[in-house]
Amino acid sequence: MNVASWIIGPQMVGVILLLLGCIFHYYPPKHINKWYGYKMPSALKNQKTWDEANRYSAIYMVKIGIFLVIAGLLVTFILNEVSIPARLKEGLTALFLIASGPITGVYIIVSTENHLEKIFHKEQK
């Protein structure tokens, strides 16, 4: 059993998102700034949108992080049990690893933007 195969994969991205989500949840950015926080234009409108965007995206990062850890470990288990060439296993692991970052990043942004639109669009009416 190759230990690296259990570490490298979507589960690695999941652990990173889980850690970042916990940091953002327990140490949220207090004020709008250029360095730390969810910095999409909709979040930068005012302090209320900033606070809500950072709160919601942190929770979402944790949820997606947990999902990726479980999915990554499941994929690793399946790839280790299936009889395929080692190069193909490495290629599939790399593909899943590379795809999991941008896909989940876009998903977090889209979900947070939809949430902000729903919350603050109601307030404007």
18-53 residue pLDDT tens: 999 999 999 999 999 888 999 999 999 999 999 999
pLDDT, greater one: 125 or 75: 75
pLDDT band for 124, please (50, 70, 90 cuts): low
Query: Exposed, middle or buried: residue 73 (CB in 10 Å: 0-12, 13-18, 19+)?
Result: middle
Amino acid at 81: E
CA atoms within 13 A on the CB side of 28: 16
pTM of the model: 0.83
